Structure 1
Amino acid sequence: MSEQQSRNLTTLVGVDPSPPARNALEALAMSSIAPSCNVSLATVVSEPPLYRVDDTDLPWIPQEVFDSRMEAEQRRLQALADELGSRFSACETVVAQGHPGRELLQLAETQGADWIVLGSVGHSAIARIMLGSTSDYVANRASCTCLIHRSPETPPDATESVFTRVVVAISNAASDASLPEWIETLRLQPGCEVHLLHVMETHPEYELHLLKKISAYMEEVRSAAWKLMESTRPKLESLGIHVRPMLVESAHIGQTIVDYADSHDCDLIIVGDQDDTMIERVMLGSVSRFVVRHASQSVLIARSITRSSTANKNLHS
Structure 2
Amino acid sequence: MKAVLATDLSAASEATIESETCLNCLGRIGVEEIHLVTVIPANVHAGMPGIDFEKRRKQGLNRYRDVIESAGLDVETHVVRGTPHRRINGVAETVGAGLTIIGSRGKSPLENRVIGSTARNLARTTVVPLVVNRIERAADDPEVIREHLFQRMLFATDFSANAERAFESFSYLRHATQEATLVHVGTPKDPGLGEGEDPEVELDALAARLEDWGIETETDVRQGDPADEILAAEAEFRPTTILLGSRGHSRLRRLLLGNVSEDVVARADGNVMLVPPERTA
> What is the total number of aligned residue pairs between the two structures?
269
1:21-60 pair list within 5 angstroms:
21-25=13-17, 26=19, 27-31=21-25, 32-33=27-28, 36-48=31-43
Give the structure 1 partner of residue 169 of structure 2. Answer: 182
Matched position secondary structure for 1:106: helix
1:138 partner amino acid: L
Q: Is the 2:247–2:277 Cα contact (8 Å) retained in structure 1? A: no
Q: Does 1:76 align with 2:65?
A: no
Q: Does 1:99 align with 2:83?
A: yes
Per-residue deviation, 1:166: 1.8
* Aligned equivalent of 1:109, options 68, 76, 93: 93
Q: Is the 2:131–2:271 Cα contact (8 Å) retained in structure 1? A: yes
Per-residue deviation, 1:221: 5.9
Cα deviations by residue, 1:85-122 (Å, 9 ceiling, x for unpaired) = 2435421111112222222122122223222100002x
1 CA distance for matches of 2:213 and 2:144?
A: 26
**Structure 1 residue runs without a partner (length 5+):** 1-8, 50-58, 204-213, 309-317
Give the structure 1 partner of residue 139 of structure 2. Answer: none
Are residues 125 and 184 of structure 1, via their aligned partners in 2, closer, same or farther at CA, if it must alter by over 3 Å? farther
1:105 partner amino acid: N
Are residues 222 and 296 of structure 1, via their aligned partners in 2, closer, same or farther at CA, if it must alter by over 3 Å? farther
Give the structure 2 partner of residue 312 of structure 1. Answer: none
1:285-300 pair list within 5 angstroms:
285-300=258-273
Are residues 162 and 115 of structure 1, via their aligned partners in 2, closer, same or farther at CA, if it must alter by over 3 Å? closer
Give the structure 1 partner of residue 184 of structure 2. Answer: 198
Cα deviations by residue, 1:135-154 (Å, 9 ceiling, x for unpaired) = 11112111211000114789
Q: Is the 2:3–2:31 Cα contact (8 Å) retained in structure 1? A: no
* Aligned equivalent of 2:7, options 15, 18, 23: 15
Q: Is the 1:81–1:91 Cα contact (8 Å) retained in structure 2? A: yes
Give the structure 2 partner of residue 124 of structure 1. Answer: 107
Per-residue deviation, 1:169: 0.3
1:272-283 pair list within 5 angstroms:
272-275=245-248, 279-281=253-255
Q: Is the 2:133–2:144 Cα contact (8 Å) retained in structure 1? A: no
TM-score after normalising by structure 1: 0.72
2 CA distance for matches of 1:185 and 1:162?
A: 13
Q: Is the 2:16–2:144 Cα contact (8 Å) retained in structure 1? A: no
Q: Is the 2:29–2:172 Cα contact (8 Å) retained in structure 1? A: no
**Structure 2 residue runs without a partner (length 5+):** 137-142
2 CA distance for matches of 1:221 and 1:81?
A: 54
Q: Does 1:246 align with 2:220?
A: yes
Per-residue deviation, 1:35: 5.4
Give the structure 1 partner of residue 140 of structure 2. Answer: none
Q: Is the 2:162–2:277 Cα contact (8 Å) retained in structure 1? A: yes
Cα deviations by residue, 1:222-272 (Å, 9 ceiling, x for unpaired) = 73433332222223112321111111111x111110111012222211011
- Which one is further off, 258-267 or 85-94? 85-94
Cα deviations by residue, 1:21-61 (Å, 9 ceiling, x for unpaired) = 12223343121426533210111122346xxxxxxxxx6x6
Q: Percent identity at matched positions?
A: 20
TM-score after normalising by structure 2: 0.80
Give the structure 1 partner of residue 157 of structure 2. Answer: 170
* Aligned equivalent of 1:228, options 202, 218, 236: 202
Give the structure 1 partner of residue 127 of structure 2. Answer: 143
2 CA distance for matches of 1:169 and 1:98?
A: 34
Are residues 233 and 254 of structure 1, via their aligned partners in 2, closer, same or farther at CA, if it must alter by over 3 Å? same
Q: Is the 2:162–2:246 Cα contact (8 Å) retained in structure 1? A: yes
1 CA distance for matches of 2:251 and 2:95?
A: 20
Q: Is the 2:41–2:81 Cα contact (8 Å) retained in structure 1? A: yes
Matched position secondary structure for 1:274: coil
